[in-house]
Structure 1
């Protein structure tokens, strides 16, 4: 694959990811969640969305695939470790949040399907 083709593919993938994140924000907002932060982190991993509702803070991973089951399978053990590392980093900058109920959620997206929100998709080991 040429450098130009890789670059086009990366741009398309990034754009699709941002669209998916905004769709997840809209979906969760309709369920009463409020956005605290988007794309926290950076090189080495990021938390897609940080949302709050009531006394809970949800660190949300958004996965978009051709089918919802494929999206669900995309949160691997390595991905979980990266997410937890970023959560610890975010909590160090936001110590007030330690008084809240913390969980790792996911929103799975697939074309022509309603989003699937999975609260506490995996247990946090902070």
Structure 2
């Protein structure tokens, strides 16, 4: 498969994984505030709220949950935290919000694995 075809396939796989993760969060009672939120400091896959809790979610599609967790590097975590600071700065209720950083791993053979407060 050519490089552009591989990139397109990976993009599609990531998009579908993020959509599944968002539906999973809705089912768990979260309100989705943003999907693929882009800032000058990085992208956040999903931003969701539940009460006074804002969660910033990194979504990974992998064959095993552990490889999904391992794929979120310290550099990725730092980028997500910096991007979340920018998002929070634009929220009127930012002072009331608690923050949490989660990882959701989408695997082909099971329900999404949701790791709360992962980093």
Specify the TM-score bucket, using the shorter chain as the normaliser. over 0.9
Q: Deviations over 1:4-58 (max 9, x none)?
A: 8111111111111110001001111111011001111157631000001122110
How many angstroms apart in 1 are the aligned matches of 2:35 and 2:23?
13
> TM-score, normalised to structure 1's length?
0.87
Is residue 78 of structure 1 aligned with residue 75 of structure 2? yes
Runs of 4+ in 1 over 3 A off after TM superposition: none
Which residue is equivalent to 1:19?
16
Q: Which moved more, 1:42-51 or 1:103-112?
A: 42-51
1:31-42 alignment runs, 5 A limit: 31-41=28-38
Whether the aligned pair in 1 keeps the contact of 2:41 and 2:83 (CA below 8 Å) is no
The number of residue pairs the alignment matches comes to: 119
Q: Report the CA distance between 1:95 and its aligned residue.
A: 4.3
> TM-score, normalised to structure 2's length?
0.92
Q: Name stretches of at least 5 consecutive residues in structure 1 with no aligned partner.
A: none
Is residue 67 of structure 1 aligned with residue 69 of structure 2? no
Is residue 93 of structure 1 aligned with residue 90 of structure 2? yes
Report the secondary structure of 1:120's partner residue. Answer: coil
How many angstroms apart in 2 are the aligned matches of 1:50 and 1:25?
9
Whether the aligned pair in 1 keeps the contact of 2:100 and 2:117 (CA below 8 Å) is yes
Q: Deviations over 1:81-125 (max 9, x none)?
A: 111111111112224223111111111111111111111111xxx
The RMSD of aligned alpha carbons is 1.6
